[in-house]
Structure 1
Amino acid sequence: MISLTTFFMGNSSVATLILHLVMLIIGGLIYKDDFLAAAIGFSLIYSLIVITLIISSFLYNILSQNISLINKSNIFFITIMYFPQYILAFLVLYKKKSIYSLYKTIKSRNSSIIYLILFTIVLDFIASFNAIINAKDNPIFTEIILTLLFIFIIFIIIYFSNIEKKSKEIELLNSNLEQNISSLRKLKHDYGSQISYLYGLHLMGNYEKLGELLKNIIDGNDNIINNIVVSNDTSIISMIVNTINLKDITVFIDENADLLETNVNELDFQRIVSNILRNSIEALDGSGSIKINTYYSFNYFVLKIQNNGPEIPDKILNKIFDSGFTTKENKESNNGFGLAIVKELVESYNGKIQVSSTDEFTEFTIYLPTIK
């Protein structure tokens, strides 16, 4: 089929487009079970070959016109036109892993596949006009190419107009969705700490108080309570929390791990928890909720302390454990050392500490090795 196309049309501009289509069809028939993968692989290699041919043809035309000493022999033509193809073949084999990575990236994105195919068609037109400019094309084929180019441009305009239209529709939907999410976040912020407290009463079996508060909510009185510690009163964390001025902050404690399973000194543990709690209370500016949770994760005792205060910017988050670092306007000599002390204590027990922050909450996570 390729030989017939070349026989009837030679190296004309139209032949370039037809050969591209013919090779794509043949590849599709051979790899019909995965035509998409075949089309991407073919288009990638085809693009590299056509780009090389366009550059080689340009160099050949420039050199053949300006270097009078060079006889336009077959050796000159082969050197300029075909030698770069051998170099390209070597580079493709040498960089096959990179090309395969590019192939996988394109295959994973529908838009990239379409852009790749459009790019190969643009290359065909560039190669075709290269033949037309150098007066190597039949006038009839030139007219056909110009007509096809006009049709292609119209198609591109319509295609990208539809994309822009869909993009605006998605943008409008996203805007409406953001408004709904914002409303839900406000509701969550307003009722999150109260729900946590109600759940704490349920865990403690205080159903009488729970029923009373639920009745208040039904009656329209949603101001449940402030400055409450929901926990096991005999736990170490509970005792630490009770020594701190919580202001109007609700604290919910859920302990599912025993500190005795670690080598951590109780006094050091108190310093770790109290420093993070004081930092959280300052971030909440006197009102909000704090959740403290302990559990086991493989060979670690995990302590999580979460507050629903404002998001901490990344530039501050990266320095939050630095000794002496503080965001307070009144930078007293004793400020900026609490979290640095926490990090030092945790690492002294071969533990690790992490912090994350979003617009919903800030969370400190501490991992302490358990006794093996």
Structure 2
Amino acid sequence: MLFYIFLLWTMISLTTFFMGNSSVATLILHLVMLIIGGLIYKDDFLAAAIGFSLIYSLIVITLIISSFLYNILSQNISLINKSNIFFITIMYFPQYILAFLVLYKKKSIYSLYKTIKSRNSSIIYLILFTIVLDFIASFNAIINAKDNPIFTEIILTLLFIFIIFIIIYFSNIEKKSKEIELLNSNLEQNISSLRKLKHDYGSQISYLYGLHLMGNYEKLGELLKNIIDGNDNIINNIVVSNDTSIISMIVNTINLKDITVFIDENADLLETNVNELDFQRIVSNILRNSIEALDGSGSIKINTYYSFNYFVLKIQNNGPEIPDKILNKIFDSGFTTKENKESNNGFGLAIVKELVESYNGKIQVSSTDEFTEFTIYLPTIK
């Protein structure tokens, strides 16, 4: 650790000695600090990069604002140009305040860190944001004629390369998005084919059972062999990112009919105070409601992630849109849209709301002509 600290100090000293506070030095120091931080925390480079980028962003934003204020005030008050005290006050004092706020609000910073880490796309955007801040800081030096002309040319060249990179990066994202849409379309077609295959197997099983009742075991054995030789795949309509998760276990206990469930978990229930049995009741009640809305066919997406101080659970189905007048009453105890209003109907979602609020959580529901989505926020352990 001491070696890496010494190495960092050496690199910073050499860079500032040869380049001063130039625009190029800003980019080089950013890269050096990121690399050395990665070497120190090489076992979890991603976590180190997120933490560094968060604090780095706050520092650079503060410096940009301070520099902007200093330049405005120094142009209007001539005596300020001769005052080092004013320069130190404007440029460095806010950094001490920032350091205090970061330490004071470290739990909030950590919550933001977990939120970013649970969403892969947010990590890329954070790193790109820090690079944009570097260019803003660099142009601040260029505009105020404090930069070497050679360094200015380098920065402009790097900016051009960065813009090209951004264009290519987002073009690839758009391309992959279209590929995913095509894959989803193909997946829906495959699911439809599997449903037909499942129906055919049902007919075959009924016929085989008839042979069994008639005692025609020779013919029964022959047909079974043909089926095994023809296709030995097992139809499974649950797609999960973690087979051992509590959500996948809950889903496996429910009759999904011909509904496909996609599960993507990026948060741990252990980070909350929620009882596992209560969580099972929350998920299963919403799932059963979604299955009824889909009327036996469709898809359900279940996603978990962190959002600041909350564990977020989203359950989305592609069923019909729910009218606003029903949405406003959907969590009311005893409310149901079923024609057969039995005494045990209309309590599932009311129970969900009660359970969520018992843990100081929040539940929201939204519905469009494309999907209906339940979003649950459960406080994480502080």
Using structure 2 for the length normalisation, give the TM-score. 0.54
Look up the SS of the partner of 2:230 in the other structure: coil
What CA deviation, in whole Å up to 9, does each residue of 1:41-75 have, x standing for no partner? 11111111001100100011011112346454011
Distance 2:41 2:241 in 1: 65
Distance 1:233 1:97, change over 3 A: closer
* Contact 2:112–2:308 (CA under 8 A) maintained in structure 1: no
Distance 1:74 1:323, change over 3 A: closer
* Contact 1:226–1:249 (CA under 8 A) maintained in structure 2: no
What CA deviation, in whole Å up to 9, does each residue of 1:75-130 have, x standing for no partner? 11111111111111111111111111121222233322222111111111110000
- The reply to whether residue 268 of structure 1 matches residue 304 of structure 2 is no
* Contact 1:312–1:362 (CA under 8 A) maintained in structure 2: yes
Equivalent in the alignment of 1:341: 351
Distance 2:243 2:151 in 1: 90
Distance 1:9 1:254, change over 3 A: closer
Shift in Å, 1:163 = 1.4
- Higher-Rg member (1/2): 1
Distance 2:247 2:274 in 1: 14
What CA deviation, in whole Å up to 9, does each residue of 1:314-345 have, x standing for no partner? 96487479799786999999999999999999
* Contact 2:286–2:349 (CA under 8 A) maintained in structure 1: yes
What CA deviation, in whole Å up to 9, does each residue of 1:234-293 have, x standing for no partner? 999999999999999999999999999999999999999999999999999999999999
* Contact 2:118–2:267 (CA under 8 A) maintained in structure 1: no
Equivalent in the alignment of 1:20: 30
Deviates more, 1:69-78 or 1:217-226: 217-226
Give the paired residue count: 372
Distance 2:74 2:12 in 1: 29
Deviates more, 1:34-43 or 1:200-209: 200-209
Deviates more, 1:318-327 or 1:260-269: 260-269
Distance 1:312 1:227 in 2: 25
* Contact 1:255–1:294 (CA under 8 A) maintained in structure 2: yes
Shift in Å, 1:22 = 1.3
Shift in Å, 1:229 = 34
RMSD: 13.0
* Contact 2:111–2:309 (CA under 8 A) maintained in structure 1: no
- The reply to whether residue 292 of structure 1 matches residue 326 of structure 2 is no
Shift in Å, 1:166 = 1.1
Distance 1:188 1:357, change over 3 A: farther
Distance 2:251 2:197 in 1: 27
Distance 1:107 1:211, change over 3 A: same
* Contact 2:111–2:308 (CA under 8 A) maintained in structure 1: no
Distance 1:43 1:209, change over 3 A: same
The answer for unaligned runs of 5 or more in structure 2 is 1-10
Distance 1:313 1:254, change over 3 A: same
Distance 1:107 1:201, change over 3 A: farther
Deviates more, 1:33-42 or 1:133-142: 33-42
Look up the SS of the partner of 2:156 in the other structure: helix
Distance 1:13 1:186, change over 3 A: same
Distance 1:236 1:120 in 2: 37
Look up the SS of the partner of 1:250 in the other structure: strand
Distance 1:211 1:264, change over 3 A: farther
Task: Say which of 236, 239, 242 aligns to 1:226.
Answer: 236
Look up the SS of the partner of 1:167 in the other structure: helix
Distance 1:289 1:125 in 2: 45
What CA deviation, in whole Å up to 9, does each residue of 1:292-324 have, x standing for no partner? 999999999999999999998796487479799
Look up the SS of the partner of 1:69 in the other structure: helix
* Contact 1:193–1:288 (CA under 8 A) maintained in structure 2: no
Distance 1:95 1:195, change over 3 A: farther
Identity %: 100
Look up the SS of the partner of 1:302 in the other structure: strand
Deviates more, 1:314-323 or 1:225-234: 225-234
Deviates more, 1:350-359 or 1:309-318: 350-359
Distance 1:156 1:221 in 2: 47
